[in-house]
Amino acid sequence: MRKLMPPIVAVMVIAVASLAGGYLARPRHTSISEDNAQEELRNDFEQALQTIEDNYAGAADLEALGRNSVQGMLQQLDPHSQFFTKAQFDDLQTEQRSHFFGIGVTIKKINNRVYILSAAPDGPAFRAGLRYGDAVVAIDGQGSEDWLSEQVMARVRGEKGDPVELTVERAGAPRTITVRMSRGEVKLPSVRNWFMINQTGTGYIGLTGGFSGKTDEELAAALSQLKKEGMQQLILDLRNNPGGLLDQAIKVAEKFLRPGKRILKSGDGTTGIPIAPMWFRKTTFPNWRRW
């Protein structure tokens, strides 16, 4: 029977080996050339993983180790590089397509319960009477009180026209409320609202829904409408914009930046309209989901 180290000792050995560049497991090298750098790094990772499997006094979650290793590597690049699992990446692509099929609500998990924060006007949930503050307790008769937001979302999204049943608890209601509805198209616009500010000639556009596949098209439509209403200058609200597709962000910038300019806070962009961008110093990523 293989003799196992105590967990603390095993962790210390792995840490020391890592700090030493893996010297405990392979011969020393004075330098690593560009030609074999990837091979050396691959060997280091495999040896570290093998050391964990051979000496760790417990059951190691290899999937979690691999995922966290990639995340740690990306953190050395910049704050914006991220690792997505297949499910997370599929979800990201769904939102970047500007629409999906579901019931049209925004949800968030608070104190171990999933609550509805809003229901999209004219969406299936809105028509069924669901509203802010409803706590989701069951989906299709199956209790969901211990589920994560992602689990709730996965169960509610589906094919257009397919039925789904939600049971919610509502403050002030004597008993739970169960509603049945059919999944429908839920739009995820990048431009959430636009309007003229009184008679000042100032237009406002809230580009707060990220940069998805139709951002450029939506912004162009909003600009066109505001120009018809007499817009002479524009407030472009980018606060809380979580980012998105690079090509769409470039197309948006091209509407306001002159060729060859990296950044132009105000003045004569290609639209001919003075612009005052609004943004927070740090972009935020709210912990809510749409479905």
Task: Report how many domains make up the chain.
Answer: 3
Report the pLDDT value the prediction gives residue 183, as an integer from 0 to 100. Answer: 92
Same domain, yes or no: 203 and 150:
no
Report the pLDDT value the prediction gives residue 284, as an integer from 0 to 100. Answer: 35
Report the pLDDT value the prediction gives residue 182, as an integer from 0 to 100. Answer: 93
Q: What are the beta bridge partners of residue 180?
A: 165
> Is 128 a member of any domain?
yes
Report the pLDDT value the prediction gives residue 112, as an integer from 0 to 100. Answer: 85
Contacts of residue 39, Cβ cutoff 8 Å, sequence gap at least 6: none
**Residues of the chain scoring pLDDT < 70:** 1-35, 80, 91-99, 261-291
Report the pLDDT value the prediction gives residue 212, as an integer from 0 to 100. Answer: 84
DSSP letter at 110? Answer: E
Helix (H, G, I), strand (E, B) or coil at 222: helix
Same domain, yes or no: 97 and 180:
yes
Same domain, yes or no: 196 and 242:
yes
Q: What are the beta bridge partners of residue 119?
A: 105
Report the pLDDT value the prediction gives residue 14, as an integer from 0 to 100. Answer: 32
| Structural domain range at position 156 | 91-187
Exposed/middle/buried for residue 38 (C-beta within 10 Å: 0-12, 13-18, 19+): exposed
Same domain, yes or no: 225 and 258:
yes
Residue 275, number of CB atoms within 10 A of its CB: 20
CATH of residue 244: 3.90.226.10
- Supply the pTM of this predicted model: 0.49
Which tens digits make up the pLDDT trace of 66-77? 888 888 888 888
> Is 86 a member of any domain?
no
